[in-house]
Structure 1
Amino acid sequence: MSQYDVLCIGNAIVDILAECDDAFLVEHGIIKGAMNLVDAERSALLYSHMGPAIEASGGCAGNTAAGVASFGGTAAFFGKVSNDKLGDIYRHDIRAQGVAFDTKPLAGNPPTATSMIFVTPDGERSMNTYLGACIELGPEDVEADKAAAAKVTYFEGYLWDPPRAKEAIRLTAQHAHAAGREVSMTLSDPFCVDRYRSEFLDLMRSKTVDIVFANESEVKSLYQTSSFETALDLIRKDCKLAAVTRSEKGSVVVSSSETAAVPAIEIERLVDTTGAGDLYAAGFLFGYTNGRSLTDCARLGSLAAGLCIQQIGPRPRQNLREEAQRAGLL
């Protein structure tokens, strides 16, 4: 028996979310729908112009870990916070959600990471992330016992931005594969793909990564094609398994021998897309590590993502296991 279903590795970020209109994004030079890396000064400036805001622990992989735990799975997390107030909040939140989080915090600067997230009326989120303590995540933070004990390790493509994090990822993958486990990643963002296309493809083709999560824009960016079908055919050849989300069109899961297309769930109102892909990955990986079919995995992912986008903030507010049981998926 594995101790963990999923080990997640990512940037430990406290999200600060506020609503705005499109004119605000233009006025402040914010790229809509993307994750924009900013420095401490830019982060403070944007915060000073924000309307009423909500603080919530976030970060892509942290959201996924919380989602796996909400489904009733066992999850662990590697991520770097500082020994400050926001770091205390982050540690409390993820542990309270049932995730094992034991990465040693920084003693001083830089501070815990923050992301200023602006949500427009169409539900789209535009993130402005100051990585702070995240840049200090390195190989010394890898817990070999957790890497070997998790059925699947999952990391975010955003980790290719902090310089030492990729060393930690490669070391974790070595421990995981040596123990017969699998490694997965999310492409995170089309702009992230543009920055690291060749490295991401190498991770897949070298079998460092077995499972890939992406949305339609990301997978088309990866292969520099405008054709979704072409991108699917190519990613099918490059990795063992890929799950690609398509917003209201649902998702498509492909392996060398199988294709599963699953619709999105019906929602009452789109509120905020922050964390939708993270929660899709949570549902999918919970199903996958518990032996469900690819179709069932995608349905669990669609359920979690659909619930997520009807609220402000990326972490599950409902008990996802109960919601899945109510929907007849468990």
Structure 2
Amino acid sequence: MKTSDFYYDLPQELIAQTPLDKRDTSRLMTLDRVTGAVEHHHFYELPDFLNPGDCLILNNSRVLPARLLGQRLPGGGACEILLLIDRGDKVWECLVRPGKKLRPGARVSFGNGELTAEIVGEVEGGNRLVRFDYEGIFLEVLERLGKMPLPPYIKEELQDQERYQTVYSKVLGSAAAPTAGLHFTPELLEKIASKGIGIGYVTLHVGLGTFRPVKEEEITDHEMHSEFCTIPQETADLINRTKAGGGRCICVGTTSCRTLESWAAEDGHMEAKAGWTNIYIYPGYHFKVMDGLVTNFHLPESTLIMLVSAFAGREHVLAAYAEAVKERYRFFSFGDAMFLR
């Protein structure tokens, strides 16, 4: 299949720049993956589409305030460093700007010297290895000095950093939010649980590879990025109980889907697991465990729209996206949601 097979035309004004005042008032399109039938609802109606005995699997990764704005030393020229992967011993793999000025040996200061850094290496692809120097606990320093690493298509400044976190975020480590979960409120989760639907959590730390465009003409030539994920024992047990009882396993977000599908046995049986995954899901993939997917509207020609197309059929998905454009849905991270069932 060609990358261009997953293109659709999106007016720029439909890219949501800010979150809605209330998380669960976003719109919810339901898509029947067998018939292609589409219905229009609101996210707070999601419990109406879930049955007692189903389970909902959410990604509880928390976004690092990983965007650091500083000055080069000496001289004071502005620069930006974006944390990607903790390599240990105070060294992180990072994206840097301006790249030409931040070669190995360059030094940087943040927050009037509260945090300093030195570029100590360069890796394949151009990312830098950066060693940080600070007093105290690094994550606390980041909370004070760092900003949320919003996707490049969001131009507005985020007023409340918590709005780029899910209400159930717990484990720090993502470079971007698992955005399908942004629609949930504590009250909505309580309503779902009270209906007899199991709620389980996995952790997948979202990398910026999520936003990396597919540049190859053939989708099979694209190399998928790796991300670290964890399935706890209680979540594996919940999924196995759900399946044994005839319930559906519904993933919230492509990250939850990729986590489960990475480690599920061919018959759908789950075991506790932790490790790196670079699973790449596109049409033709056989889903082993996922029966339903709550997700946002994704970028044209992205690996995410390919995953959704693998689950619900490319023609159905592109027709649903065309309907969403026509009905003026809000797209991408702060946008509206879909439930594929």
Shared fold per TM-score greater than 0.5? no
More helix per residue? 1
| Largest Rg, 1 or 2 | 2
When the two structures are superposed, what TM-score results if normalisation uses the length of structure 1? 0.29
More strand by share: 2
